[in-house]
Structure 1
Amino acid sequence: MKVRTFMAGVGMLAIAGVAAVFWAGYREHGGTAAPVSAETDAGQRVERGRYLARLGNCMGCHTAAGGQAYAGGRALDTPFGVFYGPNLTPDPRHGLGNWSADDFWRALHHGKTPDGSLLYPAFPYPSYRNVSRADADALFAYLQSLPPAAQENRPHELKFPYDQRWLVAVWRAFYFRPQSDRPDTPPEERSEAWLRGRYLVQGLAHCAECHTPRNRLGAMALSAGLAGSRIEGQSWYAPPLTGDQATGLGAWTEQDIVELLKTGVSRRSHAAGPMAEAILQGFQHAQESDLRAMAVYLKSLPAAGTDKAALAEPASQAVMQNGGRLYRQYCAQCHQDDGKGNVPAWPPLAGNISVMAAAPDNAIHMVLSGGFPPSTAGNPEPHGMPPFGQMLNDQDVAAVVSYIRQSWDNQASAVSLPEVRKVREAAR
């Protein structure tokens, strides 16, 4: 999603799209060109939008549990309060029924509603500004094809002063420009796959929204790239997607990345938490070529310069002894004494970037609450991990997670009791 789209570019894309359909029809009909109807073109645009909506996991924020798809109401906990995803169906009163394609483009690209009101950046328009006009129009066509839902939008429940919407203008003055940060002219030496991967990662897939560090006002530190970040309000950690060998994707192959996105499991790690949902509802439905393109782009990113010294604070001998005892009692049967696991059933803990992450939240979550990778076409019956939060106290959890973070050549910091308590509270 990295090709800058100006109106001239949109026109060229439209011409190219019509030409492609024309040529496909010409070949299919034995050399006699088949006419392309407006109805066919509109249907193709809707289907394209359906695919893009899945790839971007729009349902993840705009569909409440048990509710109608895209009717809104899903809660998003943040340090600033709770945001609720709005209704995206074509209901004229509560949804997008009175919106135009231009209105939708303005929301994605400029973060503004039709009447000019500023949207909170909980809606990831800092990433969606990279979406092309053609893809925005396809998304809008798909949303307009949905059955209307007369479901009223739930007001956000924000803390003061964040409930003062006019402050969004101040935030934008410091941290947002409608123009993309990427160069208008892509590097000539880059492949088509790399360009496509960059476009997807930095745009519709909005990977930076979770995997990029943020400041106290919620603005992404774009200079840090995809260097990993704690997902505040949820106590999950999105690991680096950079080339760091220990905590990022440096030791992963392109195929490892594709397999994780497509199936939820790989020989390196299993998806859990918010990433499992993104795969369940989004990435598993993506075309292999798009997943491969994302992998090509991610593998091109340099290491983020992780401070290994900060990650290597050792646990005491007593903590390691207690943690090792608990690991052998509860964990080794599946994850093995050497931490290599039994892929695809049980993931490795040795060399696992979620285990060695700068923040231990993910490993603590799994010990406390257990969980499953997503059920996907490539892994329809995933093996799960039972919860141990009821039988292990905070001190025990800190010990066993410290043990796995400092065994089998893993070099990550020990886990403190406050870190365990914070995640336990968030998991309730």
Structure 2
Amino acid sequence: MNKWIKRSLIAVAGLATLGAAGLSLGAYLGDRKATRHVDVAVRAVAIPADAAGLERGRYLFATRGCVDCHGADGAGHAFIDDKGGFYAKAPNISTGDGSVVAAYRPEDWVRTIRHGVKPDGRPAFIMPSEDYNRLTDTDLGALVAYVKQLPPARGEGLVARVPALVKTLYAAGVIRDAAEKIDHALPPAAPVPEDGSPAHGAYVANMCQGCHGPHLSGGKIPGGPPDWPAAANLTPGEGSALGRYENADQFIAMLHTGKRPDGSPVSSVMPFTSLRELSDNDAKALYAHLKQLAPVAFGNR
């Protein structure tokens, strides 16, 4: 064999070995990071039992992404099943066998939903609690009330197979869990009138942060499977998706159908199971908020 070729093959093999060792170490460090203790002081919120509170909780569960991961029955289903090996099935949060919330105390609901921290202090690695951190105490209580009365369904805890590269990026801080992103010192959000205003829309838009980023400018979703498309820029800046929608009616139609005004489909990664249930009032407010945002360049999450 040509000496140059032989040396090249040896070098490639050496680099491959080093790469595999690096991923192995990174995966170990990622697993260790996922078991760290996050100390968050929380207080319980009032959990309503009246019909109005339960109906508000039902609406939030249906429209804020909960059904897209946990299913309408709360038993959990696979929301990531990537051919590259990334798999995630949400845990059972109903009252049935295998429920992960059966022993939750009132403050545990707040810690998990609002702060992305499990009752034992470990971070909720995949749950996008940043989307729910700004829920008012009233809405958080209503959501919990609805979940607590879900009929029993059989399920299990979180089932996740996370590629070594994702764990390595998590260990390095390139991918962050919700507990890292959230400012835990922020007081709960104050109620906002549901009047269709941009301020009302800003409250609704909190549900978009997990994919579109805190500035809503989109870009590649950190930690998402490689075949997921980049999230769209929802600000009026470079690469904005808003230019496709001349008015709120076109925007609402997209949320209901998953199709743009020209008939082309929006990525199925968008949580349309939830978005199609969004009320016209909330959707119009969301559109009003997005239209008045300051332009942000695409990908500046």
TM range, smaller chain: 0.5 to 0.7
Distance 1:210 1:162, change over 3 A: closer
Matched ranges for 1:13-162 at <5 A: 41-63=49-71, 69-76=73-80, 81-91=86-96, 93-120=98-125, 122-160=126-164
Q: Which residue of 1 aligns with 2:212?
A: 211
Distance 1:73 1:183, change over 3 A: closer
Matched ranges for 1:116-265 at <5 A: 116-120=121-125, 122-160=126-164, 175-179=181-185, 193-202=197-206, 206-212=207-213, 222=214, 225-231=215-221, 232-233=224-225, 234-244=227-237, 247-250=240-243, 252=245, 253-265=247-259
Distance across 2 between alignment mates of 1:259 and 1:209: 23
- TM-score, normalising length from structure 1? 0.49
Distance across 2 between alignment mates of 1:134 and 1:168: 37
Matched ranges for 1:341-420 at <5 A: none
Deviation at 1:82, TM superposition (A): 2.9
Distance 1:271 1:113, change over 3 A: same
Distance 1:149 1:306, change over 3 A: closer
Distance 1:198 1:182, change over 3 A: farther
Is the partner of 2:276 in helix, strand or coil? helix
AA aligned opposite 1:229: G
Q: Which residue of 2 aligns with 1:301?
A: 293
Larger radius of gyration: 1
Confirm or deny: 8 A CA contact 1:97 1:144 kept in the other structure: no
AA aligned opposite 1:129: N
Confirm or deny: 8 A CA contact 2:254 2:260 kept in the other structure: yes
Deviation at 1:299, TM superposition (A): 0.7
Deviation at 1:239, TM superposition (A): 1.6
Distance 1:183 1:243, change over 3 A: farther
- Which structure 1 segments of 5+ residues have no match? 1-5, 15-37, 213-221, 308-428
Deviation at 1:103, TM superposition (A): 1.4
Q: Which residue of 2 aligns with 1:312?
A: none
Distance across 2 between alignment mates of 1:171 and 1:51: 29
Distance 1:46 1:271, change over 3 A: farther
- Which structure 2 segments of 5+ residues have no match? 1-41
AA aligned opposite 2:277: H
Confirm or deny: 8 A CA contact 1:103 1:113 kept in the other structure: yes
Question: Which structure carries more relative contact order (alpha carbon 8 Å, separation 6+)?
Answer: 2
Confirm or deny: 8 A CA contact 1:61 1:74 kept in the other structure: yes
Is the partner of 1:238 in helix, strand or coil? coil
Deviation at 1:243, TM superposition (A): 0.9
AA aligned opposite 1:244: G
Is the partner of 1:257 in helix, strand or coil? helix
Distance 1:211 1:89, change over 3 A: same
Deviation at 1:260, TM superposition (A): 1.5
Confirm or deny: 8 A CA contact 1:73 1:85 kept in the other structure: yes
Confirm or deny: 8 A CA contact 2:136 2:188 kept in the other structure: no
Confirm or deny: 8 A CA contact 1:194 1:293 kept in the other structure: yes
Q: How many residues align?
A: 247
Is the partner of 2:242 in helix, strand or coil? coil
Confirm or deny: 8 A CA contact 1:250 1:299 kept in the other structure: no
